[in-house]
Copies of this chain bind each other. A is one copy, B any other.
Amino acid sequence: MQTIGRTVWAIPEGYIPSGGLDDDRRYVSHETACMLNVGETDAHVRITLYFSDREPVGPYRVTVPARRTRHVRFNDLEQPERVPRDTDYASLIESDVPIVVQHTRLDSRLAELSLLSTIAYGEAGGS
């Protein structure tokens, strides 16, 4: 079977604005790490958040099942702590099997949508 991906990914840009179209989950400002696991083995993923002025927080643990995609909203991460709003952060994503990671933000602060997206930076090295 086809496999594709890397096991370590980085997203230097992170920022969840507060405010925006908060009454509709589709339009609320959010940051997403879209993960794809085309392999035959579940991916056990650890997300670590980095900040500008304090020690990293994590790991947040996520499973991406075999042959599935999972679009993880940073807004929804709760353990070990909620991701702060209006704060610069970055993320390191480590998986025990190869996955592919794409970063997307939807910003609705000024009542219209603005989007950004990029494939994250990936390397083959493990944790």
Contacts and interface: CB of A to CB of B under 8 A. Distances in A.
Interface residues of A, number: 61
A15 to B, nearest CB: 8
Given A10-B38, A13-B102, A69 B55 contact: no
Contact of A105 (B26, B36, B115, B125): B115
Interface of A: 2-5, 8, 10-15, 17, 26-27, 32, 34-36, 38, 48, 50-53, 55-56, 67-71, 86, 88-90, 92, 94, 100-105, 107, 109-123, 125, 127
A69 B94 contact: no
Contact of A89 (B8, B10, B69): B69
Contacts of A88: 34, 69-71
A102 B36 CA distance: 17
Given A12-B101, A100-B12, A51 B68 contact: yes
B117 A116 contact: yes
Contact of A55 (B48, B67, B110): B67
A119 B103 CA distance: 10
